[in-house]
Homo-oligomer: A and B are copies of this chain.
């Protein structure tokens, strides 16, 4: 492994000079500069990020903590986060930090937080809040992304969106299509709703329109949506539309409709929220509310990196709402029958 010192010796200068040249600090004469560069080039010198990190107290990575990388939403988010991090010369450490019981693995996080990684980005959509505050060691720059209820977020800098509005948009869409019997399907973990704000936004709007909005809770997955919808579609009179608080649930609902012999969207409309890539790939393609995952990922990473650079940049409970949910009309919704 060729080090700074190696090239210093060969180029006949001191380590500091090499460092200055390579980091374009400018304090160096053209000739030495050229010579140093040449040697570095020839030896294939690559600075050691660990050493740099140690020396200037700044880690070149950030840690992203989530509960399920296999979930398409999280993987989309991770993808965008990695790009955003890279744009600012950082690497992304992925930490699947949920223990089997769903709580955060504190010991594990403690090992990375603030040292190996300069800060922690927590994808919070389904983590307990008590948990959250204790998981990351005190003083480590932390940003919470995608927290469901912006109005009531934990005392951490938080980058998220207006999930209530997303719920409203979904409801508005169905109402505008003339639906009155609308079943609401909300994601939950055990008996705790994970999509509270979307649910509230949706049901509030439905109620305003005089439509009753009870909600069915289910595990947030295609299978969960399927199970719940199978039940809902047995009701008499049958709902003409299903509003799912997440795309996976919506996709499951469409499948259930298929099995019950109901045509989507003719006999049943289904709308989701999030706009994961799968929504567009389904047949019929799922109408959904786009929440602009990419911008949120960007903003979260940037907020975290800013916070790392300047620990007082953000108030401890700063809140940033990014983007505006927007309806993406596809093939799963139509005029009420």
Chain A residues close to B by CB (< 8 Å): 1, 44, 46, 48-51, 53-54, 59-61, 63, 68-70, 72, 74-76, 78-79, 82-83, 86, 91-96, 108, 110-112, 114-116, 137, 139, 221-223, 226, 252, 255, 258-259, 277-278, 281-283
Contact = CB atoms under 8 A, between A and B. Distances in A.
B94 A44 contact: no
B277 A255 contact: no
B82 A50 contact: no
Contacts of A110: 46
B83 A91 contact: no
A75 B69 contact: yes
A92 B93 contact: yes
Given A91-B95, A255-B282, 20 more contacts: A1-B115, A44-B137, A46-B110, A46-B137, A48-B115, A50-B54, A51-B54, A61-B61, A68-B79, A70-B75, A70-B76, A70-B277, A72-B72, A74-B75, A75-B75, A75-B78, A83-B96, A92-B94, A258-B283, A259-B283
A115 B281 contact: no
A108 B48 CA distance: 13
- Residue of A50, A68, A75, A281 with most partner-chain B CB within 10 A: A50
A255 B282 CA distance: 8
B82 A108 contact: no
Nearest to A112: B91
B72 A281 contact: no
Nearest to A248: B281
In the complex, the 7 A-B pairs of residues with the closest C-beta atoms, listed nearest first: A75-B75, A255-B283, A222-B281, A49-B116, A69-B79, A48-B115, A50-B53
Contacts of A76: 70
A74 B82 CA distance: 15
A2 B75 CA distance: 35
A79 B71 CA distance: 10
7 contacts: A48-B54, A48-B115, A91-B95, A93-B93, A221-B281, A255-B282, A259-B283
Contacts of A223: 281
